[in-house]
């Protein structure tokens, strides 16, 4: 039986890892063993932080909505506003509400008024 050399496959794997490690500091971008560890750890962070990013954006949207609601009516809080939205049947997600609060305050104020009126009627 003839001998099988894995030169091509190994070279391609090393090249792919070193390409992924491009821009890392020192041996983390040059030595295959260290680069492979660094790339593996970077992929672990990336996987974990995709979830974290969603969490952080939701928290940011809530903070922006809360600030905008309190600017319109200091007695109204975020949780009371969201409750009023659901009672009045307005279905707008937090991302859109936060965008309206920042870029179109008049439209956001109109939504707040409709929510208050709908909650009072319900």
Q: 26: domain CATH number?
A: 1.10.1900.20
Q: What gap in Å lies between CA 69 and CA 111, rounded to an integer? A: 10
Note the pLDDT tens digit of each residue in 19-67. Answer: 999 999 999 999 999 999 999 999 999 999 999 999 999 999 999 999 9
How confident is the model at residue 92, as a pLDDT?
A: 92
**Residue range 74-86: average pLDDT?**
93
CA dihedral 14, 15, 21, 27 (to 10 degrees): 60
| DSSP category for residue 26 | G
How many residues would you count in the chain?
122
Rounded to a whole number of angstroms, the distance between the first and last alpha carbons of the chain is 84
Q: Could you tell me the sign of the dihedral formed by the alpha carbons of 32, 36, 39, 45, in that order?
A: negative
Whether 2 is covered by a domain: the verdict is no
Q: 6 pLDDT exceeds 90?
A: no
Whether 31 is covered by a domain: the verdict is yes
Phi, then psi, of 3 in degrees rounded to 5: -85, 140
Q: 119 pLDDT exceeds 90?
A: no
Residue 11 domain boundaries: 7-121
Whether 65 is covered by a domain: the verdict is yes
Whether 1 is covered by a domain: the verdict is no
Count of domains forming the chain: 1
Which residue from 53, 56, 55, 68 is spatially nearest to 99, judged by alpha carbons? 68
How confident is the model at residue 3, as a pLDDT?
A: 85
Whether 20 is covered by a domain: the verdict is yes
Report the predicted TM-score, pTM, of the whole model to 2 decimal places: 0.77
Are 96 and 63 in contact, with CB atoms under 8 Å apart? Answer: no
How confident is the model at residue 122, as a pLDDT?
A: 66
Q: What gap in Å lies between CA 74 and CA 91, rounded to an integer? A: 23
Which residue from 95, 61, 92 is spatially nearest to 110, judged by alpha carbons? 92
């Amino acid at each position: 039986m003839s001998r099988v050399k894995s030169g091509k496959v190994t070279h391609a794997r090393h090249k792919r890892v070193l390409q992924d490690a491009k821009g890392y500091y020192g041996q983390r971008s040059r030595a295959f063993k260290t680069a492979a560890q660094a790339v593996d750890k970077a992929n672990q962070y990336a996987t974990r932080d995709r979830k974290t990013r969603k969490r952080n954006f939701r928290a940011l949207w809530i903070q922006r909505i809360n600030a905008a609601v309190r600017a319109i009516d200091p007695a109204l809080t975020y949780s009371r506003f969201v409750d009023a939205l659901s009672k009045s049947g307005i279905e707008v997600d937090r991302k859109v509400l936060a965008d309206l609060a920042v870029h179109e305050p008049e439209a956001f104020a109109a939504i707040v008024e409709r929510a208050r009126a709908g909650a009072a009627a319900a």
